[in-house]
Structure formats: C-alpha cells, structure tokens
Chain A
Amino acid sequence: MLSGFETPIQLWLEIPATVQSTAWQQSQAFSTAASRWNAYLNQLCVETFLHWWRDTAQSQSCEAAQIADPSTSPELWEVMNGVALTLDHTRLVLIPSEAIDTSELRTPQEWVDIPSWAGDYYLAAQVNPDEGWIRFWGYTSHHQIKANAHYEAGDRTYTLPSDALIADLNVLWVIRQLNAQEVTRGVLPPLPELTIEQAELLLEQLSPKISQEMSMLQSPRLMVSFEQWGSLLQNVEWRSRLLSHYRSTPAMAPQADTPALATVNTSTPVRLSQWFQNVFEAGWESLESLFGEANLAYSFRRTETAEGIRRVKLVSLETTFQPQSAVLMISLTPEIDGRVEVQVQLRPTPGDVYLPADVSLRLLSVASQPLQFTRSRQQDNYIQLKRFRCLPGWEFIVQIELNGTIVTEHFIS
C-alpha cells in the first residue's frame, strides 16, 4: 500500500497475484541471476499494464490491445531492459525499474536508435514486487529523448531527469484522442545492413562462451559497436539466433519446465525431397492423422495432382500472454522440369475455426532475406504464402510468429 502518498496523477496498478507467480516461474528460464531478475521485473510490468489496458479498453469498448511486435520478444531480457507494445497504433516502450527514487528515466539505446524499434512514447515504471504494485510515474516521447536526453556512452543509455517527464499518463491518453498527429519521433538514420559474413562473425564474437570469459558485466550489447549490435538485433533471424545462444548454453541450462518463451529453432533442415520417398521428419504428419479422415475442408483449393504430397505439423505458439497453436501445412507438387512447387499454409488447430489474430507467416531465404510475408486478421480461417517453385537443394526458411514467439522451420527442397 502506498499509505497516503498516492496522487491521482500517476497510474498506479496492482500486480495480479497470478501474474506475480507466473512471472517468477518463467523468469527462472533465463540464463543468469541478473537476467532472471530483469525478466521478472519486465514481465511483471508488461503483464500488469496489459491487464489494466484490457480492462480499460473493454470499459470504453475500444479496440483490444494489439501487441504484434517482433521486438517484444521476452528473450530480449537476457541482454537488456524494456519492452515495447503497440496499442491503437501507438508504440509504447515500457522501462521498468525497482529504484525507489524516481530520479531519472534510463532508456537503453536500442529502444531509441534502432529505427524499427523506436517507440512513440516511453513510460517509466517503478516496480515494487514486495507490495505488489507498479507505478507509472512519467512519460516522454522519442522526440524528447533525442532532443534532450543525456547519452551515456558507458552503458549506451539515454537518461532524462524526472522533471523532464510528464507525470500524468492521462495527458498521453488525451493527446492520443485529440491530436494523434503529435510529433513523437525524432529523426533517425537507418542502421547499416549486415552481410551474412559480417553477421556470422558477430554472432561468433557475441556467443555467450566468449562473452563470459571476457566478463559477465560486459554485456553483449556493449561488446561491439552500436551500429553492428543494432543491425544484428533489427534482423529477426539474427536476433533469434543470438538470443537462442543464451538459452541453449549448457552451463546455464534453464530448468526443465522452460515455458515456450524461447524461439523454437530446428537445427537440422527438413529434407523435402525425401518426402517423395515417404521419409518424414518427426512431427510431420499426414492430414488424416491430425484432422481425421472425414475432414475434407482442409484440402487445398487447387486440384491435387496424384503425385502431390501434403504434410502438416502442429506448431505451438505459446506466448507469455496466452497459449496458442496452429497447423503448418506444406504441399509439394513435382513439376515436369524437375522443380517442385511448394505451397505453405497456416491453419487453425483441429477443432478451431479461426487462426489466432495477428499471427504472421514469413518466407525467408537461408540468408534471412525476407521473401514473402502474410499475417492473419481477426477471424481468418487460414493464411498462405504465394506458391513458389524451386530447384532441388534450394534452402528456405518458414517463420511463424505470434506476440514475439517465433517458430522457425528450415527446409531443403
């Protein structure tokens, strides 16, 4: 209890008891004491905020919260503080701290200077886990940070003193209603694109084994130049590889009940050519075994050729927010010229009618170049990528993402 110290100016939220216990449990999957604690505070913060947002949005019959945002991936808490949310087209970055004094807002540079990560507004949150509450004590905009914050090169943060922040979040909600055009973003130069070689080299340099030898404090985010680090992070594939390093390091093995926060990364590619010999990798089932014989609704619209092969895999998209799953369906049709036509679809799990909203399906080259992209809306029965043809031996990656949980499947045709 804040016992008389509270004001109606600041948004002050109770942490739901269930949030507190799950956040603690899930944080145990992180690799170091410091990152576990960081993950715990961040999760408390974002979930409590979302609880409140959903309550409020409901009462105003507003659009529900949208959190489709790759950079919100909780794995990030291995290496840095903060979480981003997109709510009603406004991107908020929450920066939790357990400090009892609200002297400053300290924002990691990534949230400011990676163009695709930058937020419209930054919210300072004081987390008090002992008493179970969070106080959002001020906010500022990206523009203000770029214009007025002090950049500290030592830990690559932008700091603003508390009196440079606006204390009342009501001001923010009012502004969003009356002047959604408010200039919130400062000018940012783009970060350089990395070549595959550069990225591989960086990943090697930043592997936890090496970074641990150097120092535990010397966080990976400070080991290479910001341009390099930021470029690596802004690429979904590189980032998930980087972060999975931390999760999979044996010396810091997470506990057995690791929640599905982590990226599911299949290390060995699925060999599609073998499917024609009836050799299938684990998890790839026939339609019938997953959906049952009778369910004809799941056939592709196009007439199937006799040689065509279809296989499905159940994909778990369990996020911190709610468990979700879907079915990834791959259909292969051999062409006369030796190529194979590939069709990729994402379907609801048996028994469900709709896909989760905002689940995205991506096709990437093996060098992580994005090739195709689609995303589900509310009440989509399925989503699919455009058919493509490829020569035997061509490698590609299919990524499914929901609320920052990324499932990656690697194929060789």
Chain B
Amino acid sequence: MRHRQNLIELFSTFVQFAGDRFGGWLADPRLERSMKASLQQAATTVRELSEGIWALHWHEHWRKNPTGSAANHLSAYLQESCYWAAYKMINRFTSTPYKLSDCFQIAIADLPKILNRFSAAQGSSLKAYASAAFGTAIRDTLRQRQEADICSDWGLLRKLSQKRFADALSKAGLPNHKVAQYSLAWNCFKTIYVPSKGTATRQLSRPERSTWEAIADLYNRDRLQLEDPGLPCSPEVMEQWLSFCAERARAYLYPSALSLNAPKPGLDEGELQDDLPDPMADAPLSLLIAAEEAEVRDSQRSQINTVLLNQLEQMDTQAQQLLQLYYGDELTQQQIAQELGIKQYAVSRRLSKTREILLLALASWSQQTLHISLSSDVVSNMNDVLEEWLYSYFHNAPPFTKGV
C-alpha cells in the first residue's frame, strides 16, 4: 500500500480494491476541494499542523454538524486504519470464507458509532482508537455470522435481540404494522418453542404441527393488542412468517453491499446540501485550540508512559509474557493457551486481571496528579489510552507515535 503523501490526500481519498487487494487511492473531488479550502484558511496560523490535529479538528466539527462533510473527511482519513484492521483479521484466520474487502466493509460501516464514542479528552488518538474499534467491529460481526451459520433457522430465531429482529425486517422493507405483527409471532414462537435440552439450542428442529398450532393460538389471542391486528393466522401462516423472518435475519448479517462511505469519484453531483460548504468561520481558531490541546496532551502522554512503564516493571514475568504474546505477537487467546499449556479461559482471566492492574495505576495517577474526578466514562476513556499504549509498547514502537 502506498502511503498517502499530504494532508489533502489523507483527508479526501479512499481505498479502492482490485480483486481482493489494495488497488489504489481514489480521490473524491468534493472532499479535495473542501480540504484545500480549509488548508488555505488555516494558513493564517503560524505553524504547520499535523494530521492528528486536523483529525481532532474534523472530529470536533463533526460533533457540531454530523451531516456535513466532516464525517467524509474522517472516513477518508481512517481508510488506512480500517484496511489494516481488516488485513490483520483476515490473516488471523487461515480458513475463513471472508475476504479482505468484506472485513473492510464491515468495519467502515461502524464508523458513525466509532466517531460517536471517541473522546479525545484523555489523550487517545483517533487513529489508534479507530484501529482497535474497527478490529472489534469485524470480530463481533464474524463471530455472529459464524454462530448464525451453525444455527438452524429455528435456533437462529431464538438467538436474536429484539432490536436486531426488528431492524432486519425494517431493512427488508416491511412497514411498521407488519413488523409489529411479525414481532408478536416471533415472541409467540419463543414462548412456546423452547429447547428441550440445555446444551442444544443451535440445532433446533422444525417445530411439530402441534407446536405451530399452539403458536398460532397464542398469536390469534394476542394479536388484538396490536394497533393493526390483521386477520387471524393459521399454523401454516405462522410457519411461513417465521421462516421469512429467519431468512431476513440471516440476510441482515450479510449485507450485500454498503455504500455508506463509498467514494463517489467523478460523480461530483450528490445532493445540493452536500455541495454547500460547511460553515467554517471559526476554522483557524478551532484549529489553534486543537493544536494547543495537542501540546498539553503530548506532555500528558509522556507522563502516562512513565506511569505505565513503572507499573509494568513491577509485574511478574508471566503477566509480561502474556501481554507480549497478546499485544506484541498478536496471538489469539487460544494460541496463547496452547503455547503456555493452560486453558483459554485462564488466559482470558489473567489478561483481564493484568489490564485491570494497569488501568488502576493509570486511573489513580490521573486522580492524584490531574485531580480528575473519576467517573465510569472517564475511566473508560483511559482504558482506550491504555489499549493504545499496550499495542504500541509491545510493538516496540515509541509509545504514542506521531500524529498525536
């Protein structure tokens, strides 16, 4: 992969796949223009601003105006992180039916959530934060798909959250009153048809005729609660509906294509509002603020580095070895378990415990020196900082590398 050369490219070009490999950078002219204009505005500031500062600037901008072009700039900026997260995940599994581009799509679709959760306050960088979050998004989706693949339709129906169920139907284009009817049928199904063994929930077989009758009975009684109760349903209709729901739920896990953040090269049309420049009156000022904050954070980061290094040195060799294997060598917990001859659950627990000790050290340090009043959210942000630090430390990269 060719690294992007300058700030304009960084914030306005997108990964293009050729086959299942990186094919090149594709420019979005609209974003290119916007970035150029912003750089010109910023030229009034004395100093050159790093990509990290621009990222913070656009993130700030995105918070104020989520529908503007800031999200697209950030999407462009995070293409590389997303690509590498997908690349790592694919290489982790030797026999996976998924392609690099699948994983890339899964991850980038999560971008709005990632932008929403990211908080720069405790000093993590957007790039590092997003890398970890992309990885999580891919893992979660692949895990769900794997589980869904093992399940029979009837098993799968029991293993959906209400939200996922309703989302899948809405995505399939069903109107709300239909979604409500299907949801009720689904709840009736779950009430009546329960696994008869505690360890075999995936391969639920097709319900018997008598079960469908009971489900239909229940539905017909309860449908009167619905805003639009529709007609009474036969057992056959129940089965038909639920088969349809299972099919839609599966399809929902495998979206055919995502266009959410896809570039529109050459199509410099878009909707009218897309072309309106974002109100940028305060751009130079907000950039200056971002730059100042970045400076404060830099000094904070070196202190954090010291705190964590000290704590790490105090840990026993086994804990250090675990961290090295997990963060440095990027082994899975299963691989670590094999390597160390212990159970995977033990690896999971020990890793978790080790991280807790580091997090505790970091949090008490900030409580004492920064006089931060600790809340779950603040500590959660520190956790992101810790995760970022662990990755860079065990990759022998200078912790908190360039780019803020």
Cβ distance A128 to chain B, nearest Cβ, rounded Å: 8
Cβ distance B326 to chain A, nearest Cβ, rounded Å: 7
Q: List 18 A-B contacts (CB under 8 A).
A: A3-B146, A3-B334, A9-B355, A13-B345, A33-B191, A33-B192, A100-B159, A100-B160, A101-B160, A103-B161, A128-B147, A166-B377, A166-B380, A174-B356, A174-B363, A175-B374, A175-B375, A215-B218
Q: A172-B376, A182-B374 are in contact. Are A163 and B116 (CB under 8 A)?
A: yes
Q: Which of A8, A14, A130, A172 is the most central at the interface, judged by chain B CB atoms within 10 Å of its CB?
A: A8
Residue of A34, A103, A172 touching B164 (CB-CB under 8 A): A103
**Which residue of A has the minimal Cβ distance to B161?**
A99
Q: Is the CB–CB distance between B194 and A37 below 8 Å?
A: yes
B301 within 8 A of A: no
Q: Is the CB–CB distance between A182 and B355 below 8 Å?
A: no
Cβ distance A92 to chain B, nearest Cβ, rounded Å: 13
B171 within 8 A of A: no
Interface string of B152-164 (1 = CB under 8 A from A): 0000001111111
Q: A37-B194, A100-B160, A178-B360 are in contact. Are A217 and B380 (CB under 8 A)?
A: no
Chain A residues near B359 (CB-CB < 8 A): 170-171, 174
Given contacts A33-B192, A130-B202, 4 further A-B contacts (CB under 8 A): A36-B194, A101-B161, A177-B360, A217-B222
Interface string of B170-202 (1 = CB under 8 A from A): 000000000000000001101111110011111
B264 within 8 A of A: no
Residue of B161, B222, B363 touching A218 (CB-CB under 8 A): B222
Cβ distance A163 to chain B, nearest Cβ, rounded Å: 5
Q: Is the CB–CB distance between A141 and B188 below 8 Å?
A: no
A101 and B345 alpha carbons, distance in the complex (Å): 21
Q: Which of B163, B202, B355 is the most central at the interface, judged by chain A CB atoms within 10 Å of its CB?
A: B163
Q: Which of A1, A100, A173 is the most central at the interface, judged by chain B CB atoms within 10 Å of its CB?
A: A100
Q: Is the CB–CB distance between B191 and A217 below 8 Å?
A: yes
Q: Is the CB–CB distance between B348 and A4 below 8 Å?
A: no
A104 within 8 A of B: yes
**Which residue of B has the minimal Cβ distance to A33?**
B194
Interface string of B16-31 (1 = CB under 8 A from A): 0000000000000000
A-binding residues in B (CB < 8 A): 92-93, 113, 116-117, 136, 139-140, 142-144, 146-148, 158-164, 167, 187-188, 190-195, 198-202, 218, 221-222, 225, 326, 332-334, 343-345, 348-349, 351-353, 355-356, 359-360, 363-364, 367, 373-377, 379-380, 383, 387
Q: Which of B345, B348, B376 is the most central at the interface, judged by chain A CB atoms within 10 Å of its CB?
A: B376
Chain B residues near A27 (CB-CB < 8 A): 198
**Majority-rule SS of A interface residues:** mixed
A106 and B161 alpha carbons, distance in the complex (Å): 9
A365 within 8 A of B: no
A97 and B161 alpha carbons, distance in the complex (Å): 8
Q: A13-B345, A98-B201 are in contact. Are A175 and B93 (CB under 8 A)?
A: no
Nearest 5 A/B pairs, CB to CB? A8-B351, A24-B198, A99-B161, A4-B332, A33-B194
Q: Is the CB–CB distance between B373 and A179 below 8 Å?
A: yes
A101 and B147 alpha carbons, distance in the complex (Å): 10
Give the interface residue-count category, chain A. Answer: 35 or more
**Which residue of A has the minimal Cβ distance to B323?**
A8
Q: Is the CB–CB distance between A178 and B221 below 8 Å?
A: no
Residue of A20, A101, A171, A215 touching B198 (CB-CB under 8 A): A20
Q: Is the CB–CB distance between A129 and B199 below 8 Å?
A: yes
Q: Is the CB–CB distance between A179 and B356 below 8 Å?
A: no
Residue of B163, B367, B374, B376 touching A166 (CB-CB under 8 A): B376
Chain A residues near B148 (CB-CB < 8 A): 100
Q: Which of A13, A128, A159, A179 is the most central at the interface, judged by chain B CB atoms within 10 Å of its CB?
A: A179
A216 within 8 A of B: yes
- Chain A, range 161-197, C-beta contacts under 8 Å to B: 161, 163, 166, 168, 170-175, 177-179, 182-183
Interface string of A296-312 (1 = CB under 8 A from B): 00000000000000000
A20 and B193 alpha carbons, distance in the complex (Å): 20
Q: Is the CB–CB distance between A171 and B383 below 8 Å?
A: yes
Q: Is the CB–CB distance between A98 and B158 below 8 Å?
A: yes
Q: Is the CB–CB distance between A5 and B360 below 8 Å?
A: no
Q: Is the CB–CB distance between A182 and B198 below 8 Å?
A: no
Q: A182-B375, A217-B222 are in contact. Are A40 and B198 (CB under 8 A)?
A: yes
Q: Is the CB–CB distance between A216 and B373 below 8 Å?
A: no
A160 and B140 alpha carbons, distance in the complex (Å): 18
A75 and B73 alpha carbons, distance in the complex (Å): 54
A99 and B147 alpha carbons, distance in the complex (Å): 10
Q: Is the CB–CB distance between B326 and A8 below 8 Å?
A: yes
Chain B residues near A20 (CB-CB < 8 A): 198-199
A129 and B202 alpha carbons, distance in the complex (Å): 10
